[in-house]
Amino acid sequence: MRKKPDRNDCMSVRQASATLGIVVLLLTATSLWFSTLDDSNGGRRRRSPSSTIKDPTTPPDSLPSDPFAQYIYQEELQLNYDYDSTAGVINPSRFATLREDEQQEQNKNNKNHRTIVVGDVHGSLLGFERFLKKIEHNPKWDTLVMAGDIVAKGPQSLKAIDRLIELRAKCVRGNHDDVVIRWRGFLDSVDVAILEEYEASPAFVDVMEAEAETEAGAQAIESMDAFFLERGITIPSDLDRKSEHYQIARAMTKHQYNYLRQCPLILTIPREISVNHIPVHVVHAGIEPKRDILHQRPWVLINIRNLLPDGTPSRKKSKGRGWAREFNELHNRRSPSKRDFLVVYGHDAGRNLNVMPWSIGLDTGCVYGRELTGYVVETGLILSSPCPRV
């Protein structure tokens, strides 16, 4: 015979239920509070994995988290045509609905369409134009994807951005692009009158004219920081006070800034158009081989060159070994069913063109008078053109 629950048992059940209800309410309220906090903190709302804004974490030489970075984590390249990877043409059901002349035109377009990932331009507009001419670029059929570092070092950073906007080129964020974006975000947060006052002050002249490594340069930077601190403004500590990045950020138009800012950290090209029928992930610098592609750290994606013996990512090549070599060795040890993507990147001009089974490095030092290099996703071809020294 089942024992009838006494009053104390019932009280315990009711208390447990009430406690559980309070916990659920607290968790819900906390979730809503964090969601509101994300939205109010520079608009950094969490999105789906295909377009997630993430703050950088703190590996060595890290970028501090600030509201000016505005990272878009990953996006997928949207095709402007319906591609059938088996037939190499547009989807047959759609193809059948076209007129004969439209079918002929579509066949021609599909046959000639190229998605070209291009290495670091670094403001070398003349080298970029020569590359376009050499590869017989056709804006009707070709989609350009820039592997980052569009700006800095070369003489025509802003004109290079304008040209890419005109060509409707896609892009990922490079480390030099990142500094310019963050400088511009900071400058936009400061009252125009304060900026004009600063740029008319001796502190600004000293920063622009003094060598940063000298004692005078260090004093000039201290004066710059002091000027803003007196007005309650703090410049992010890692932004180089004496650099062309400030000048580029100050001079760029809102349209140019928005173009550069919308470049994600990872641009994924769908497997349907890849010569190997695997996704192609375009990043600027590289990845950590043992991390999932959608869980990479922003600092790594725009800065890494090497891995230290303990696995720590580094932007320097003096110690450790190249991340790409370890990444390829790791993939070669996996079963064929797991070999599921190719990484195409720039950034590492010191290693020049670096083609491996599961990664392709495209920075061939255009800004140093060497070459500008591209990779055609549909065919696997490598294209290159000499660049003038700037």
Digit-coded pLDDT (tens) for 295-317: 899 999 999 999 999 999 999 98
Query: Tens digit of pLDDT for each residue in 234-252?
Result: 988 888 877 799 999 999 9
User: Region 10-32: what's the mean pLDDT?
Assistant: 43
Q: Which residues contact 58 (CB under 8 A, 6 or more apart)?
A: 64, 299
Q: Are strands 382-386 and 371-376 parallel, antiparallel or unpaired?
A: antiparallel
Residue 207: per-residue pLDDT: 76
**Antiparallel, parallel or unpaired: β 313-314 and 83-84:** unpaired
Sequence ranges of the domains in the chain: 46-76+114-187+244-390, 79-112, 191-232
What's the whole-model pTM score? 0.77
% of the chain beyond a pLDDT of 90 = 56
Q: Whole-angstrom Cα distance, residue 377 to residue 118?
A: 11
Radius of gyration over every alpha carbon of the chain, rounded to an integer in angstroms: 26
Helices 125-134 and 157-167 pack at an angle, to 10 degrees, of 30
- Give the contacts of 313 (CB within 8 A, at least 6 positions apart): 59, 60, 288, 297, 299, 300, 303, 304, 306, 307, 323
- pLDDT category, 203, cuts 50, 70, 90? confident
Residue 86 pLDDT > 90, yes or no? no
Per-residue model confidence (pLDDT) at position 85: 46
Higher per-residue pLDDT: 221 or 187: 187
Q: How far is CA 242 from the centre of its chain?
A: 24
CA distance 67 to 45: 12
3-state secondary structure of 260: helix
Q: What is the third-level CATH fold of 46-76+114-187+244-390? A: Purple Acid Phosphatase; chain A, domain 2 (3.60.21)
Q: Is the pLDDT of residue 362 over 80?
A: yes
Q: Is 80 exposed, middle or buried (0-12, 13-18, 19+ CB in 10 A)?
A: exposed
Task: Please report the pLDDT score of residue 389 as a whole number.
Answer: 85
pLDDT value at position 213?
59
Alpha carbon distance 240, 233 (integer Å): 16
